[in-house]
Amino acid sequence: MRAEEPAGTAGAEAVLDMRGVGVALGQGRRRRTVLHDVTLRIEPGRTMGLIGSSGSGKTTAGRIALGLLRPDTGTVTVSGMPYSRFRREHAGKVQAVLQSPQWSFNPRRRLGDSITEPLGVVARTPHGPGRIDREARRELCLTMLRQVGLDPAHAGRYPHELSGGQRQRAAIARALITGPEFVVFDEAVSALDVAVQQKVLRLIRQLQETHGFGALFISHDLAATRIASDRIAVMLAGEIVEEGSPADVLDNPGHPYTRRLLETL
């Protein structure tokens, strides 16, 4: 894979640059094209909302953006760097908040250990700050917990002692502790009830202002996506059928599918 594009042609370098990405999954006769010619560009400090119904390829797009899956065609760069065989080169720069509050943390580890886990990786990478001692880690962990609105005492607790909303906040703390440039939220608030959702969404916006990360917000929930995103892309059957500002896409949908998606809610 090559990174032939000269970085930063249009102002700041994009945190995520996916071009013409296509991928097929499955073996033999069951092989299906899941994504077809998907192009996404996320500017630093901005959030791209990705909406679509189940099976539209949102999650696959997220997996490719995270480098968990290699595309068959097209290129993916994060802050100008393509994903190599070794994820450690991107360690700490890319993080994610995933769907399930139930399994977002290892049930047998204390939250503090889980939240600081990414630090251990960053410390040992070439671009990292070198060894981070125990006290510094603890300090960072407590700072992050406060920033996401949790009691620092939660660091010593086990996941099952927290509510779903608290666990997703803790997951955000873990994702942001390395100061990432790009964060993927994959249905990060979908399992939470509406009131908690609102709070977590506001928290994400607020943290984005202080930390300045670019984000991909994957959701099937239009209301949540509108709050979280600066731009919204609509996916249908593995293709992006519409992209624009939330107002354009949600209030004035151009594609018939977007209209249908809006009507169903």
Partner 1 sequence: MRRLDLAVLRRRPGASRDPLMVAAGIVLGLLCLLALVAALVPFAGSPTEISGPRLSPPSWEYPLGTDSLGRSLLPRLLEGIGVTLVVSATAVLITAVLSTAIGIVAGYAGGWLRETVMRVVDVLYAFPAIILAILVAAVLGAGRVATVSAIVLVTVPLMVRMIAAQAATVAHRDFVTSARISGVRLPVILYRHILSGVGGTLAVQGTYALSVGILVEGGLSFLGQGVQLPQSSLGLLVQEGAVYMVAAPWLLFAPAAVLVASILSITVIGDTLRDRLEPREVRSLA
Q: Which of residues 61-80 bind partner 1 (CB under 8 A)?
A: 66-68
- CA dist., res. 248 & res. 192, Å (int): 27
Site string for partner 1, 242-261 (x = CB under 8 A): --------------------
Instruction: Kindly state the smallest distance separating residue 255's Cβ from partner 1, in Å.
Output: 26
Asked if 26 and 60 touch (Cβ cutoff 8 Å), the reply is no
Question: Which span (12-20, 38-46, 171-179, 221-229) binds partner 1, by CB under 8 A?
Answer: 171-179
Within 13 A of 116's CA, how many CA atoms are on the CB side?
20
Instruction: Kindly state the smallest distance separating residue 125's Cβ from partner 1, in Å.
Output: 7
Told to check if 179 binds partner 1 by CB under 8 A, we report no
Nearer to partner 1, 162 or 236 (CB): 162
Instruction: Kindly state the smallest distance separating residue 74's Cβ from partner 1, in Å.
Output: 20
The amino acid present at 19, given as its one-letter code, is R
- CA dist., res. 225 & res. 238, Å (int): 19
Nearer to partner 1, 83 or 257 (CB): 83
Q: Tell me which of 47, 56, 77, 114 binds partner 1, using CB under 8 A.
A: 114
How many residues of this chain bind partner 1 (CB under 8 A)?
37
Q: Which of residues 189-228 bind partner 1 (CB under 8 A)?
A: none
Instruction: Kindly state the smallest distance separating residue 31's Cβ from partner 1, in Å.
Output: 15
Nearer to partner 1, 191 or 262 (CB): 191
- CA dist., res. 165 & res. 152, Å (int): 16
Nearer to partner 1, 154 or 226 (CB): 154
**How far, in Å, are 67, 204, 223, 242 from residue 105 at the CA level?**
21, 19, 27, 35
Q: Which of residues 83-112 bind partner 1 (CB under 8 A)?
A: 87-88, 90-92, 94-96, 98-100, 102-106, 108-109
Q: What is the DSSP letter of 91?
A: T
The amino acid present at 244, given as its one-letter code, is G
DSSP bridge pairs for 184? 96, 216
Nearer to partner 1, 94 or 192 (CB): 94
Q: Shortest CA distance to 211 belongs to which of 95, 45, 66, 13?
A: 45
Q: What is the 3-state secondary structure (H, E, C) of 7-63?
A: CCCCCCCCCEEEEEEEEEECCHHHCEEEEEEEEEEECCCCEEEEECCCCCCHHHHHH
Q: Tell me which of 1, 153, 194, 247 binds partner 1, using CB under 8 A.
A: 153
Which residues form the interface with partner 1 (CB under 8 A)?
Answer: 59, 66-68, 87-88, 90-92, 94-96, 98-100, 102-106, 108-109, 114, 117-118, 120-122, 125, 151, 153-154, 161, 171, 174-175, 178
